[in-house]
Chains A and B, each alone.
Chain A
Amino acid sequence: MAYSEKLIDHYENPRNIGSLDKAADDVGTGLVGAPACGDVMKLQIKVGADGLIEDAKFKTFGCGSAIASSSLVTEWVKGKTLDEAQSIKNTDIARHLALPPVKIHCSVLAEDAIKAAIADYRAKASAKDETKAAD
């Protein structure tokens, strides 16, 4: 099976590997896993005061397509608003990397991961607002 150049590039030179401080208020963490293959993927975003995603990191233990999908998403979301990042679809990822049909679930996982990271950041932000309102 032939993989696309873009996929191989992301797999061989993954962008933004690493971790951000999970406990920080301006960091959202999404942790997801594939039920069938046992892959696990962590995707984190750091949101600036202007509401734009200023940094994104990932750590994926899984196949090449899962690594490439999460690498691509961290690249895409940087500089975007949360709403823009939220609208990333797995089909966009799959198309960009030309994922073969059996690997489409890897792109779904990456979409779930960015959504989970955004949800985590938003939950933290609204908890902070409530604390402020209570003061």
Chain B
Amino acid sequence: MDHFARLGLEATLELDGAALDKAYFAAQRRWHPDRFVTRPAEERARASLEAAAVNDAYRTLREPVARAVYLGSLSGVEMPGDGRTIDDPDLLMQAMEDREELAECAAIERVDALASRARDTIARELAALGGFLLHDDKGAIRKTLLRLRYLEKFLEETRARRINLERVGPAR
């Protein structure tokens, strides 16, 4: 059973956050160990497996990029694993430039501007991904998911950079 089906949701990129939360809490209640304490061992075991699967589904579907990667895998698009370089020179060039720009940021406002730019790009890439999923364009899906991964990583780095700058204080 896939993560969407497990929570009784339609498999789609534009998942309603409130609906996801509601489905998650309902499923969690349904399989809660407290409700199975007096049940036979095999039922207890089943409930704990289900509860774990529900948590896993929620964690994956909650984050838009993780959800996108998961939807890609449902369409048969596997992300390359560790161990080989990615084959998108434009993405690599862009990633290198972005990271250099971030490393040179001395002001928090500048870091925030880069983060906000990255979030806009993520929104645009996600919108484009919707179309690629619809047309089952596997090459474009894979390319877009890789871009999203890099953008997510970049956002993570902007947060780290921000903390660093806050600790050091304003540049004199």
Chain A residues packing against B (C-beta within 8 Å): 31-40, 42, 59, 61, 104-105, 108-109, 112-113, 116
Contacts and interface: CB of A to CB of B under 8 A. Distances in A.
A35 B96 contact: no
A111 to B, nearest CB: 10
Interface string B76-89: 00011111111001
Contact of B85 (A38, A104, A116): A116
Question: Mostly helix, strand, loop or mixed at chain B's interface?
Answer: helix
B84 A38 contact: no
Contacts of B85: 32-35, 109, 112-113, 116
Interface stretch (B41-49, B53-61, B152-160): B152-160
A38 B82 contact: no
A40 B146 contact: no
B153 A31 contact: no
A59 B97 CA distance: 11
B149 interface: yes
Contacts, number: 63
B10 to A, nearest CB: 28
Given A31-B89, A33-B86, A35-B149, A40 B79 contact: no
Contact of B92 (A32, A37, A59): A32
A37 B93 contact: no
Nearest to B79: A35
B138 to A, nearest CB: 16
Given A38-B149, A38-B152, 8 more contacts: A33-B91, A36-B80, A36-B81, A40-B99, A61-B95, A61-B103, A104-B83, A116-B85
Given A38-B149, A38-B150, A38-B153, A33 B95 contact: yes
B105 to A, nearest CB: 13
Contacts of B91: 33
Nearest to A30: B85
Nearest to A116: B85
A42 B103 CA distance: 15
